[in-house]
Amino acid sequence: MPFLSFLLLFPLVGALIIACIPSWKVRAIKIIALCISLINFVVASGLWIVFDNSTAKFQFVEHIGWLPFFNMNAYIGIDGISLFFIVLTTFLVPVCLLVGWVNISKHVKEYCLAFLILETCMLAVFCMLDLLLFYVFFESVLLPMFLIIGVWGSRARKIRAAYQFFLYTLVGSVLMLLAILLIYFQVGTTDLQVLLVSEFSERRQLLLWLAFFASFAVKVPMVPLHIWLPEAHVEAPTAGSVILAGILLKLGTYGFLRFSIPLFPEASLYFTPLIYTMSIIGIVYASLTTLRQIDLKKIIAYSSVAHMGFVTIGLFSLNVQGVEGAILLMLSHGFVASALFLCVGTLYDRTHTRLIQYYGGLVHIMPLFSFFFLVFTMGNLSLPGTSSFVGEFLILVGTFQTNTWIATLAATGMILGGAYSIWLYNRVVFGNLKPLYISMGSDVNRREFWIFVPFVLAILWMGFYPQVFLDPMHVSVSNVIQHGAYIS
Amino acid sequence: MMGLHFIHLFENDFYALFPELFLTCTTMLLLMFGVVWSTSKAEGYPILTHTIAWLSVWSLVCAFGLTIHSPFSVMVSFYNTFVIDELTFLLKAMVLCSATAAMLMSMEYLKTSMLNIFEYSILVLLSTISMLLLISSYDFISMYLAIEMQSLCFYVLAASKRHSEFSTEAGLKYFLLGAFSSGVLLFGCSLVYGYTGLTNFEDIAKCLAGSALFQTHHSFLHLGMGLIMIGFLFKLTAAPFHFWAPDVYEGSPTSVTAFFAITPKIALLGVFLRLLLGSFYDLLFAWQYVLFFCSICSLFIGAFGAMAQKKIKRLLVYSSIGHVGYLLIGICCGTVEGLQAVLLYLILYIFMTVNVFTIVLSCIDHSKTFRLKYIQDLGLLGQTHPVLALTFSCTLFSMAGIPPLAGFCSKFYLFFAAMGSSLYGLALFGVLSSVVSCFYYIRLIKIMYFEQPSQLVTYGAIDHEKAILLGITTTVIVFFFLCPHSLFLWTYKVAYMFLG
């Protein structure tokens, strides 16, 4: 069964169907879009069930000719590394559609179209086994995302944010294009399975690695290149932030794991100190920055930067624990940060402000919300029992084996993370209610409740029984690590 | 007896140039029809602009059919003056298609702009003939004559709106600088002739074959070749020689600008390719530097010049200068892949330009008095004309080279070719300038979607011709990515036949 091409094409087909519906039939458009994304989620979960844990080979491989004459073909397939990103993507898209169910009132049709097309692009990134086509979809995410930030964003500054998002990402990734062409000229193909068995000279590896790094580090974002992220997050609509935090930040780290580490093993070893330094600075800097922010979304955006710093450290610890922890933290962050952005969206819908100083004592009027917010905050500071703890713990274990100092420094991130998370929660939920600003508040409604519930379940499930997530990725991760022969 | 002998002499030659001959005859017929009919008192001096425009569109379509069904695939005719091969076939088809598109998109303009000049269509036809001849020409003399004929038509076209100061000024500037560049070109041709004693492209190639091996110093030849290149770069609006283009393009009536921007590049680039990659191929290392320099200049000026523009036509001119820079990268390579990349880029670029100019021409208000001039006039197009705005943004993104649109495919292949012939610096510069140029393309999109204009302009409905053009070009731009291999293969074949 061509499961993967179904996954890729189904949202596109849905987008075509929706494009044919007149735009005043708002309800029909929403329901069709939601159904399509839910069906996609079911199919993706089915993939997880049928997935064969015992092999590192790519599964569900399909081959679609694109430029056969130039040896550039669309190979799609997934292994243990990409499996969960596909599930996560298909999980988050219906959430995004549901988030905009009521408060997106203008351009509803375009909203649904943008998200469905975005879903195809993101899924294609995760299952493409061809370097050039990976690049194509990696970039094409820009178009719908630019429009999502620009059209449905909240303030006038959104345009600047959309610009920054677009240009930052583009500058990084065009260098990757040149690197891909260079690889093509050496190997004669961009098929990943062939590239994995071909070897590059050490000098060239360094160059190529840097070019890939320019692209991935912007997407991750590593610290000096992170400026676009808080802007884009703050100005994006809630659903945009969910996708941005949930998936788009993972594109960079996924790229590191899928391409940089196995293709350029020597360069990866060579540049590990660079990654470590940037990540540590990122963790500490972003965590400290968080303490000073007054915008709810910016706080969570900066905490994403810190968490992504953890992920990159884990990836470049280059042993099985670290890499698995990194993947698990990516997944967990996909749930936790998205859920936190959903919380902020819930607040914003009611009060139309995101400045912390206007909030306080929400527990008196929104008890249910306060509960959900608590669970997600605890997830964010990686409390044992939540998903992030497993990820960060594994990362620290992995890093400890390669570099004790880095592990120690990274561990400060856990303290700082606790500091800002709890302080944020305190300021928003506890204390006296400020009735001057928040006069009318209602607790989460049924729709929001049912959006939050799966996130809570997922976070706790991953926290208590991570085995289900670790099992499918184990063989693939070991394969990647052994491929570069980092164990010596 | 003489007549028979004459036919015997050029046995098949007239067949080879049949599309050109056909177009010439129809042009003459249309001219006579127009002159006689429009001055006929009995008919009440009818306005024939629209009729003749449609007739000329049909004759262009017929010429396209004749070109496609040409009985010869490769042939040299008229004592080595004209040539037909795969390359001319491709370029001629492109010229005819784009001329047809340019005519179609200006139909409504001709009808509503109160210009009673049916000569417009005649001039377009004449310049198309000259471009077809230019593509085929295989000799300096025929090349120069064809260029001159084309330029003369263009001078008149640029100044055709004679009540407008801008148009007359544009015509004058175009004439002066065009004549100057033709002079430079002619001087270059005479130097090359003086040095080699040859005017035929193939003979020159044979004469120069292997000359690079002997390290002989032939400065006059180099000078001649340099002057020829400068003449061409002038006409192609490549960067150090671009300064006339913004004024001319802006001043000319918009439909004429569209024609200027779309069609002549194909023909000029075609013969430029034939000269450089055919005749002067052995001096590759000499002309590569010139193109290298021009390409970097064009990319730079195209990217940064467009940023400061407030008028849409000027912005498009600068963007086209940037695109010429990309095309020059492809020629610089001097390989089959380079040539293929140029052809591919050219084809997709034509689609995008047709699309953009159709959109620019279709932004007129209901009373047909207000036309799109400043980019601020695009304000809120996303709300008043959502489909048009979406089309425009797709095209702009494609011009900026964002995957997975058609512009990306062409750009990517261009960099591919550049990397293949070790022009790493040029590829890097091209990539970076494409990021810079993204900036102003996005600015247009920003204005369309997010900005509140000072005065809201609502535009009228689009006519059928433009709608069809927009539909075709947008489909190609958006869906080209799905199955690019036929075009890739075709251009590869053409490039291989030419260089291989």
The Cα B415–Cα B427 span in angstroms is: 5
Look at A305-309, B213-217, B381-385 and tell me which has the smallest mean pLDDT: B213-217
Burial of A279: CB neighbours in 10 Å, binned 0-12, 13-18, 19+? buried
Is B188 a member of any domain? no
Two tokens at B199? 């005017």
Alpha carbons within 13 angstroms on the beta-carbon side of residue B357 total 33
CA torsion sign for B112, B117, B118, B124 is: negative
Residues of A in contact with B495 (CB under 8 A): none
Confidence of residue A126 (pLDDT cuts 50, 70, 90): very high
Q: How many other CB atoms sit within 10 Å of the CB of residue B454?
A: 7
| Residue A96 and residue A244 in contact, taking contact as beta carbons nearer than 8 Å | no
Task: Work out the mean pLDDT of chain A and round it to a whole number.
Answer: 90
| Residue B131 and residue B264 in contact, taking contact as beta carbons nearer than 8 Å | yes
Q: Could you tell me how far CA B314 lies from the centroid of its own chain?
A: 17
Higher pLDDT, A468 or A155: A468
Two tokens at A421? 């998370």
Residues 6+ apart with CB under 8 A from A148: A111, A114, A115, A118, A236, A237, A239, A240, A243
Task: With CB atoms and an 8 Å threshold, state whether A143 touches B402.
Answer: yes
Crossing angle for the helix pair B336-362 and B264-273, nearest 10 degrees? 170
Two tokens at A238? 């809630």
Is B432 a member of any domain? yes
Average pLDDT over residues B207-232: 82
The Cα A42–Cα A90 span in angstroms is: 8
| Residue A131 and residue A183 in contact, taking contact as beta carbons nearer than 8 Å | yes
**Selected residue of B394, B416, B439 to mutate for chain A interface (largest A Cβ count, 10 A):** B416
Task: With CB atoms and an 8 Å threshold, state whether B415 touches A177.
Answer: yes
Q: Report the DSSP beta bridge partners of residue A73.
A: A65
pTM exceeding 0.80: yes
The Cα B498–Cα B274 span in angstroms is: 9
b/e string for B28-66 if b means 16 or more Cβ within 10 A?
eebbeebeeebeeeeeeeebbbebbbebbbebbeebbeb
Task: Name which of A106, A144, A352, A98 is nearest A239 in CA terms.
Answer: A98
Q: Give the model's pLDDT for residue B1.
A: 46
Q: What angle do CA A276, A279, A282 make, to 5 degrees?
A: 150
The Cα A176–Cα A158 span in angstroms is: 27
CA torsion sign for A313, A317, A318, A324 is: negative
Is A455 a member of any domain? yes
Residue of chain A whose alpha carbon sits nearest to that of B449? A151
Task: With CB atoms and an 8 Å threshold, state whether B488 touches A175.
Answer: no
Domain count for chain A, please give it.
Answer: 1
Instruction: Select from B402, B428, B488 the Cβ nearest to the Cβ of A178.
Output: B428
Average pLDDT over residues A204-215: 94
Shortest Cα distance from A326 to chain B (angstroms)? 29
The Cα A202–Cα A204 span in angstroms is: 5
pLDDT tens for each residue of A15-54: 999 989 888 888 999 999 999 999 999 999 999 999 998 9
Specify the residue for token string 């991953």.
A462
pLDDT tens for each residue of B116-138: 788 899 999 999 999 999 999 99
Task: Quote the DSSP letter at residue B452.
Answer: P
Is A382 a member of any domain? yes
Is A374 a member of any domain? yes
Q: Give the model's pLDDT for residue B461.
A: 84
Q: Give percent of chain B with pLDDT exceeding 90.
A: 61
Domain that holds residue A473: 264-487
Residues of B in contact with A185 (CB under 8 A): 419-420
Two tokens at A144? 């719908």
Shortest Cα distance from A168 to chain B (angstroms)? 9
| Residue B473 and residue B113 in contact, taking contact as beta carbons nearer than 8 Å | no
Is B194 a member of any domain? no
Q: Give the model's pLDDT for residue B7.
A: 60
Residues of B in contact with A70 (CB under 8 A): 488
In the A/B pair of chains, how many CB contacts fall below 8 A? 78
For chain B, helix (H) and strand (E) counts, in that order, are 23, 2
Is A460 a member of any domain? yes
CA torsion sign for B382, B387, B388, B392 is: positive
Write the DSSP assignment of A446-476 as a string of letters.
HHHHHHHHHHHHHHHHHHH-THHHHHHHHHH
Task: Quote the DSSP letter at residue A64.
Answer: E
Q: Is B453 helix (H, G, I), strand (E, B) or coil?
A: coil
| Residue B351 and residue B406 in contact, taking contact as beta carbons nearer than 8 Å | yes
Integer Rg of chain B from CA:
22
pLDDT at A6 over 70: yes
CB distance from B478 to chain A under 8 Å?
no
Cα–Cα distances in Å, from A141 out to A117, A175, A397, B227, B445?
Answer: 9, 17, 34, 46, 17
| Residue B186 and residue B232 in contact, taking contact as beta carbons nearer than 8 Å | no
b/e string for B475-490 if b means 16 or more Cβ within 10 A?
ebbbebbeebeebbeb
Task: With CB atoms and an 8 Å threshold, state whether B427 touches A151.
Answer: no
Task: With CB atoms and an 8 Å threshold, state whether B431 touches A177.
Answer: yes
pLDDT at A488 over 50: no
The Cα B500–Cα A374 span in angstroms is: 70
CA torsion sign for B271, B272, B273, B277 is: positive
CB distance from B387 to chain A under 8 Å?
no
Task: Name which of B492, B488, B469, B497 is nearest B255 in CA terms.
Answer: B469
Residue B456, phi-psi category: left (phi > 0), alpha (psi -120 to 50), beta (remainder):
beta
Shortest Cα distance from B394 to chain A (angstroms)? 9
**Selected residue of A16, A136, A175 to mutate for chain B interface (largest B Cβ count, 10 A):** A136
Instruction: Select from B403, B439, B485 the Cβ nearest to the Cβ of A167.
Output: B439
Is A286 a member of any domain? yes
Q: Report the DSSP beta bridge partners of residue B200.
A: B139
| Residue A33 and residue A51 in contact, taking contact as beta carbons nearer than 8 Å | no
Is B427 a member of any domain? yes
Look at A259-268, A438-447, B81-90, B313-322 and tell me which has the smallest mean pLDDT: A438-447
Task: With CB atoms and an 8 Å threshold, state whether A181 touches B415.
Answer: yes
Is A461 a member of any domain? yes
Task: With CB atoms and an 8 Å threshold, state whether B402 touches A139.
Answer: yes
Q: For chain A, how long is the longest CA-to-CA vector?
A: 69
**Selected residue of B344, B411, B412 to mutate for chain A interface (largest A Cβ count, 10 A):** B412
Confidence of residue A327 (pLDDT cuts 50, 70, 90): very high
CA torsion sign for A133, A135, A141, A147 is: negative
Specify the residue for token string 């306005």.
B47
pLDDT at A413 over 90: no
pLDDT at B51 over 60: yes
Average pLDDT over residues B351-358: 95
| Residue B381 and residue B389 in contact, taking contact as beta carbons nearer than 8 Å | yes
Q: Is B77 helix (H, G, I), strand (E, B) or coil?
A: strand
| Residue B97 and residue B234 in contact, taking contact as beta carbons nearer than 8 Å | no
Q: What torsion do the CA atoms of A291, A292, A295, A296 make, to the nearest 10 degrees?
A: 0
Task: Work out the mean pLDDT of chain B and round it to a whole number.
Answer: 89
Q: Give the model's pLDDT for residue A127.
A: 92
Task: With CB atoms and an 8 Å threshold, state whether A185 touches B419.
Answer: yes
Is B169 a member of any domain? no
Q: Is A73 helix (H, G, I), strand (E, B) or coil?
A: strand
Task: With CB atoms and an 8 Å threshold, state whether A136 touches B419.
Answer: no
pLDDT at B415 over 90: yes
Average pLDDT over residues B314-322: 94
Cα–Cα distances in Å, from A58 out to A10, A473, A479, B354?
Answer: 22, 12, 12, 44
Residues of A in contact with B404 (CB under 8 A): 136-137, 140
Two tokens at A276? 């470590």
Residues of A in contact with B438 (CB under 8 A): 166-167, 170
pLDDT tens for each residue of B468-498: 999 999 999 999 998 899 999 999 999 999 9
Write the DSSP assignment of B220-264 as a string of letters.
HHHHHHHHHHHHHHHHTT-GGG-THHHHHHHHS-HHHHHHHHHSH
Task: With CB atoms and an 8 Å threshold, state whether B485 touches A67.
Answer: yes
Q: Could you tell me how far CA A172 lies from the centroid of its own chain?
A: 18
Domain count for chain B, please give it.
Answer: 1
pLDDT at A189 over 80: yes
pLDDT at A124 over 70: yes
Task: With CB atoms and an 8 Å threshold, state whether A137 touches B403.
Answer: yes
**Selected residue of B419, B433, B445 to mutate for chain A interface (largest A Cβ count, 10 A):** B419
Q: Is B9 helix (H, G, I), strand (E, B) or coil?
A: helix
Confidence of residue B456 (pLDDT cuts 50, 70, 90): confident
The Cα A391–Cα A300 span in angstroms is: 18
Task: Name which of B153, B162, B155 is nearest B114 in CA terms.
Answer: B162
Q: Is A66 helix (H, G, I), strand (E, B) or coil?
A: strand
pLDDT at B25 over 90: yes
Alpha carbons within 13 angstroms on the beta-carbon side of residue B485 total 11
Residue type, A460: L
Domain that holds residue B345: 297-499
Is A110 a member of any domain? no
Q: How far apart are the first and last CA of chain A?
A: 41
Q: Could you tell me how far CA B258 lies from the centroid of its own chain?
A: 10
Is B425 a member of any domain? yes
Instruction: Select from B404, B451, B488 the Cβ nearest to the Cβ of A140.
Output: B404
| Residue A234 and residue A297 in contact, taking contact as beta carbons nearer than 8 Å | yes
Task: With CB atoms and an 8 Å threshold, state whether A181 touches B416.
Answer: yes
Is A310 a member of any domain? yes
Task: With CB atoms and an 8 Å threshold, state whether B435 touches A67.
Answer: no
Is B429 a member of any domain? yes
The Cα A28–Cα A19 span in angstroms is: 12
The Cα A107–Cα A104 span in angstroms is: 8
Residues of B in contact with A110 (CB under 8 A): 386
Q: Give the model's pLDDT for residue B6.
A: 59
The Cα A329–Cα A190 span in angstroms is: 29
